[in-house]
Structures are given as C-alpha cells and as structure tokens.
Amino acid sequence: MKQFFKFVLASVVGIIISAIIIVIIIAGIIGGLISSAGSEKTVDVEPNSVLRMTFTTPITERTPNNPLAGIDFLGLNKDKSTGLNDILANIRKAKTDGNIKGIFLDESYMTSGQATTEEIRNALIDFKKSGKFVIAYGEIYTQGFYYLASVADKVYINPKGMFEFHGFSSQITFLKGALDKLGIEAQIIKVGTYKSAVEPLILTKMSDANRLQVTSYLGSLYDHFLTGISKSRGINKDTLYNYADQMRVQFPEDALKLKLVDGLKYKDEILDELKKRTNTELKSDLHSVELGEYTNSTPDKDDDNSSSKNRIAIVYASGEISGGEGDDNNIGSERISKALRKVRLDDKVKAVVLRVNSPGGSSLASDVIWREVMLTKKVKPIIVSMGDVAASGGYYISCAADSIIAEPNTITGSIGIFAILPNLQKLFNDKLGVSFDGVKTGKYADLGDVSRPLTPEERFILQNSVNHGYDDFTKAVAQGRNKTQKYIDSIGQGRVWTGTQALKIGLVDRLGNINDAIASAAKKANVKNYKLVSYPEQKSFLNQLSGDVTVEARTRMLKSELGDNYRVYEQLKGITQMMRTPQTRLPYDIVIK
C-alpha cells in the first residue's frame, strides 16, 4: 500500500513539474514573439520604392495594439490590419517622402464602410498633388474597391478577372416567422415612425415608412458613388447609371471598352510597369514597402510637432454603446467618460476631436457620455468627426459638440428610442411544458417577467419611460444644434440620413474628414503648432491576449460553420443584448451591396 501511494505521489509531482515546465516554455515563446514582433524597429525605405496598399480585412479606427499581428499563433488572426489613423498618416507621409515614387493599390476588397473608403480616397487624391503616381490592380473589383481605385492614374484588371458594377442594394433579415414557430413574442415599445430596428421581430417585410427612408438614403449614397467615379474617370454620371442599370459590364473587356479601366494586364505586367515608373531595371526586384511596415519608417518631419506644449486630443468612440469599460471596438460609457474628463482637465490639451463611429446602443450610456461632452464644451472647443456611422446613440453623444463634421456617405440621424421585452409564455408552456407560479408584494413587483405578456398597465408604464427618453434625446439635440425641439422631432422619429442629407437639414455643420475636424479644432482653439494625442489609452496586448484569443477562436469557428448565416446569428445576438434596456440604436445593421 505504501508503495502504491509512493507511485501516486511521484506521478502527481511529475505532472506538476511538467505543467510548470510547459508554462515556462510557452511564456518564453510568447516573450520571444513579443520581443521580435513588437520591437517597433524603424523600417528603412529603399530609394525609388512603391508603397503597396492592400485592404482585405476590416479597417478599424485605430491600428490594434497587437505586436503578434501577422503571426498565426494561439489562434490569433494572421492577417495584420492597419487602422484608419495609420493609413491616412502613411499616405500623408508618403506624399513628401523622397524615397516613395508612387502608391500601388493591389488586390483589395474594401470591407470597410463607405465613409472610411471616402477618407482613404480623398487622401489619395491629395497624394497625387505631389506629382507622384497611383496605380490600381485587381483580379476582382468590388464596387467598394473600384470607388477607391477610380482615383488612380491607371486602373488595371486581370484579363480573366471580375468587375462588379451593378448598383447598390440593402437587404434586411426578418425573424418574425422563426419567433412565431418558437412561441416567442417580441413586445415592442418605441417612439419614432422610422425607428425600424424592431421591424425584423414583428414584421415579415419592410414597413412603408422604412422602405421610404431606405430608398432615400440608399439613393443618396449611390448618387455620391456615381458622382465620385464620374469626376475621376471623366464619364457622365447618367451614363454610369445606365451602365449599372443595364448590367453592361459582364467581362473585363466590357469595363475596358466603356473606359472604366485603362487596361487588361496580368500581375507580372503590372510589376514591369511599376519598375519602369520607378526607374528600376526589369531584371531587378521592385522596391516596395507594405502599408503596415511603412508605419515604422522615419516620421514626416513636417508633421512632427512633438516639441510643442499644445495638444489636440482625439477621443475615439467606436462600436456599440453600453455601460462599463468597453474596449477599442465597443464604447463603454465609463471608459469614454474618463477619457473626456482627462482631456478636459489637462491644461496642455487646447481642443478635442471626438471621433464617432457608432450605431448607438444603450440610451442611458449615451446620455452619460453626452453629459461629459457638454462639460468639455464649456471649457475648451470640441469638434465631432463622424466615421461610417454616427447614428442614434452615436448622434446623441455628438450633438452637444461645438461643430459636427461628417463625410457625405456617413450614416447618421436615427433620433429615436425603443425597448424590447420578450414574452416567452408560449415557448415555456406549449413547446417545453414548463409553467411558473409565485407570489409578489406589489402589483408591479414582477414587471418585465418574460414568462408572461405585459398587461395594458405595464405597457403604459414602459411606453411612458420610452417617451420620456425620446423627449430627453430631442431636447439634447435641439439644444446642441440651436433648433426647436419641434423641428428636431420632425426630422427625428428614428429616420436615418446620409451626411449629405444631414447637412441640408442642419444635423451636421459641414462635410469633411478627420483631418478637417482637427484643423477646425486647432483654429477654434487658436493654436498653430500642436501635437496630436489619442484617447482612451489602448489596452496592452498582454491584458487583452486571453480574451482576444478566446473570442477570435469562437468567432472563426462560428463563421466557418454558419457561412452567410453568420449575419443572422449576429442579429439574434444583438437582439438579446438589447432586451429590457431602452435603446437609442440604428435600425438593424446596414449592409450595402
């Protein structure tokens, strides 16, 4: 018996020691990878180089703080992504970099929103003022990539490639039929004729009001798309409309014949042309630098004001709005509020740019952030720069600023509020055979219980709460935009607008990008030399490692299993997060194809 316990003890000790050794080895591997990948070595750019830009992953507002990006390790995404902040900075830097002779737009899909694409496109237009070239090439041109590429000096497509040019469409997935089969009723309390976020739960097709607003903003987006291409390619806008409407482009040869592209070439022919443009011998390798690598090249001296004591703070508010801390991809009211308080109390910060890219979310959390914007406005200028989306709660947190700048194709507005409370009585009783019983000390003690439908009195109470929230929302917008509350209600009601439309009705002050917002903030603060500082501080890689690995691995698995149905899963997941709490949120997820 003693011998048995001896062996057991030895085995346990052996397992513990082995586990410790494995942990040490893994820690060493991670440490080594972090050391090598995160060393931030300065990249030397060869003379006569080309800046190669590819966009095949979603573009975030800021480059993720991930030194292991680009390394397929522990389930991490091996695709290194570059944030919009670094993309714009790199294009601006390349404009004056003597070693960079031009930009090569290569094989991109542009999964980003339209306003993000607009910012990059405008940066390329500005880059061309230097006299340097921009060449675009793709085997497949999505409409998003073509819109970007259309500003290039030359646009080339693979002779056997694909060219999409067929107009815009937007589709909504309706879930009412599935909920009915499950015995689930979505009890809706809302304010806003156009507040259609709840429609997928209670209808099987678009309401007339929703169809009207979608037709309106989709038409506005498409008009801007065609106008931009018309100006860049020198083709009449009505002609472009007819090309798309009649599906005139079915093969690369069609795109060439209609002058949408400049040539049909294979990749080796493109590389040869780039060599000629950079005075590189055809037998030699082309000198090129990747977008992500170029971030670590020598800084632009004209852009270096690090010695200045003045600061302009950029506070990034990106993602859905909720209470708590949030992260770089989700707006936590506590985290953003802390950032706004910090820049407000910092005497070195002379002005603030609030960069908003959000469909909204919690009404309460939105109001918490709105309060901090109001307080900041009292002591220093604060300018809002809108990204792809700044709607509903995203507009709520913007409306108190001194000025609001949006892109023409920003999605904004959606001033409305709603709440969803599920009634699962049929699911429990008829489908699962489960019933409930209990006692309560007051008539409304179990208000919100999902095992039964709302009573008329309870629905009145909840409707009153939502009405009160809408009144607060419209008052805040009226105060911030110097309009009457009656007028805001007339353009509110949950209606979605593009940036171009929002300018006409007074919801934004001008059209422009984040650099325009920075310049506006500097002018209002009367400072010429300043340093840009970003808030909130990004979480360290080690702090987010375990969570990111788990979330990304789960997301990858679900996307692989569900395919195109992953969007439906995301929609259901979003609905569960919206339950019970009043929401100032954009109607559904707008996807333009």
The span from the CA of 517 to the CA of 535, in Å, is 16
CB-CB contact of 103 with 50 (8 Å): yes
Catalytic residue among 108, 337, 392, 398: 392
Catalytic residue among 93, 95, 195, 350: 195
The span from the CA of 317 to the CA of 536, in Å, is 9
Residue 392 annotated among the catalytic residues of the structure = yes
Residue 486 annotated among the catalytic residues of the structure = no
Residue matched to tokens 């500097």: 522
Q: What is the largest CA-CA distance in the chain?
A: 94
CB-CB contact of 198 with 188 (8 Å): yes
Q: Which distant-in-sequence residues (6+ apart) come within 8 Å of 126 by Cβ?
A: 91, 92, 95
The span from the CA of 306 to the CA of 289, in Å, is 26
The span from the CA of 226 to the CA of 409, in Å, is 12
Cis amide bond preceding 536, omega within 30: yes
DSSP assignment, residue 170?
A: B
Q: Which distant-in-sequence residues (6+ apart) come within 8 Å of 186 by Cβ?
A: 176, 179, 198, 201, 202, 420, 422, 423
Q: Which distant-in-sequence residues (6+ apart) come within 8 Å of 291 by Cβ?
A: 51, 52, 53, 54, 82, 86, 87, 90
Can you list the alpha helix ranges (DSSP code H) found in 330-422? 333-345, 363-377, 393-396
The span from the CA of 75 to the CA of 212, in Å, is 44
Question: Which residue, among 144, 197, 186, 143, has the nearest Cα to 589 in the 3D structure?
Answer: 197
Catalytic residues, by residue number, are 195, 392
